[in-house]
Each structure stands twice: as structure tokens, then as C-alpha cells.
Amino acid sequence: MIKDFFKENNIEFISEVNLRDYNTYHIDSKALGMVFPSSIEELVTIIKYLKENNINYKFLGNGSNVILSKEYYDLIFIKLDKLNNYKVEGTTVIVESGVSLIKLSLDCAKLGLTGLEFMCALPGYMGSSVAMNAGAYNSSIGDVLVSAKVLNDKLEVITMTNKELEFKYRDSFLKHHRDYICLEATLKLEKGNPEEIYELMAKRQTKRIESQPLEYPSAGSVFRNPEGLFAGELIEKCGLKGTNINGAEVSQKHANFIINKGGAKGEDIIKLINLIKEKVYDKYKVELILEQEII
């Protein structure tokens, strides 16, 4: 029934999809299906159909900040990868939700626009990254975002200002209102020197390669940094580097990374997360807050 609907409406759909290549932990998991709308109109059509037929669904960005906890999901994942255009108007950049942050930062550097250097290390897409207020190097999307075009819970396209989006550290209004979906972000940048921008990005990339376990599947930083502290340092001081549960391992290179050394399931990563939280709290009375999302 579902396949027929998407075929009749000429919407790309994968049935019984394997999610291994859609999450950066490379966890083996499957789902009822995955759909790729190519326009806002198609997206609205999809959501209406799924709601009318009581079919569960969830949006998935680049899968770079998620932990798949189940081996099978009886739901449809919606991917906005095809909404991947952006346009530059002076120092204003209007970006659709499926645009890669890394690509955008490099393209803006080439144009001599500064403000997105922090994105050169972020593997996510714009829409999901706005929702979590993604960031690095003490900068985040909320610092440069003017407004966002959002599909609300009534399936109306509205514009929300920076203030209305209530940005906080790795947090926003959208993160707590999952029926509001970011479709497009308007960013305000500044003119800069392309050579200086590239130099800064190159330094950060070198530092990233030296300090992060990029050779293994992971989903970046596991925990938020507590105020005035570093999560990785607390974890390391608890002697947890190298701790392994069925292939899920606390990185020897950076203790705030959990890597998949091979065959790890979502439940193994979650067990390791809970162990880390317990040990850090026992020793320092600090409650680590998960930055990644457990699905």
C-alpha cells in the first residue's frame, strides 16, 4: 500500500531499508522504509498520507548525531537530502535543509564570506543542525542565523526569527517541538579574505585529524561539555579510555568519542554511555548530558 502510494505520486521511496549507510556509527539496523521528497509540496503530501494512515515517521538528517537503538524500526524515515540548494545575496546566504555544512563552509570561503569556519568540521545537514544548534570552536549556527523557514504542526510554512528559535547550547525550540521542521535557514555572514579563511579552516582540520578518531565510525562528541569543564577530560580521568562493550569503545584518542570498532549495536553504545555517566558522576558528582540522540 505504501509503495503504491509513493509510486503513484512519483516520490522516491526505499522499502525495508538498511540504515547502515545512513548513520555515521554504521550500526546495522533496518526500517519499514525511507522516503526522499524533492519539494516542500511533496513533503506535505507525504506527511498528510502518513498521518491519515497512522504510519509512524521520523526525520533523519545525515545520521551524524544519532544512535540507532533498535534492530528494526516500524516507521518511515523522511530524508530531506533533495532540498539541497542555496543562494548567496551579498553577505546573506539562504540555505535549504539538505545542504551539507562542510560543503557550504567551503563554498562560502571561496566567495570570501566569513562566519562559517566552524562548520568545516561538522558532517551534518543544515536542517537537523539548526534544530540542535550544532557548533564547534565556541561558535554555533545560532550565532549566524537570522531566521528559518519552518513547516509547523499544522503543515503551514512559517518564518521563525532567531529569537523565536530560542537557541541555547546544543539546543533550540525545534529540538523540543519535533513536529516543527526546518526547511530553510537564512544566515548573515561578513566579508573576509579567502586566504585567511582557508588558512583557519586548514588549521582546524589538522587539529581535528590529530585529536579525533576519524578512522573509525562515530557520531562525534558524545556528551555536552559541562559548564567550565570538558567532558572528555572527566572521562579520561576516570580511566575509561579503551573501555569496550561488544565493539563499542571509548576512543583512546579522544575520550568524548565512542567508536564502533566493528559489530557494535546501538544497545552496546547505550550501555557504554550509561557506564561513563555512572563513573563520572561517582567520581566528580557531574551529570553528563548526552549530545547525541537515541532513536
Integer Cα distance of 237 and 247 in angstroms:
22
Which of these is catalytic: 29, 221, 249, 251?
A: 221
Q: Which three three-digit cell numbers place residue 69?
A: 537503538
Residue 199 DSSP code: H
Residue 100 DSSP code: B
Residue 148 pairs with which residues in a beta bridge? 160, 185
Which of these is catalytic: 147, 170, 218, 251?
A: 170
What one-character-per-residue DSSP string does 2-69 give? Answer: HHHHHHHTT-EEEEEEE-GGGSTT----EEEEEEE-SSHHHHHHHHHHHHHTT--EEE--SSSSEE--
Annotation says 218 is catalytic: no
Annotation says 166 is catalytic: no
Residue 107 carries which side chain, given as an amino acid letter? D
The residue to which cell 551579498 is assigned: 90
Cβ neighbours of residue 34 closer than 8 Å, sequence gap 6 or more: 13, 14, 17, 22, 60, 76, 77, 78, 79
What one-character-per-residue DSSP string does 104-167 give? Answer: HHHHHHHTTEES-GGGGG--SBHHHHHHHT-EETTEEGGGTEEEEEEE-TTS-EEEEETTTTT-
Annotation says 39 is catalytic: no
Return the active site residues: 170, 221, 291
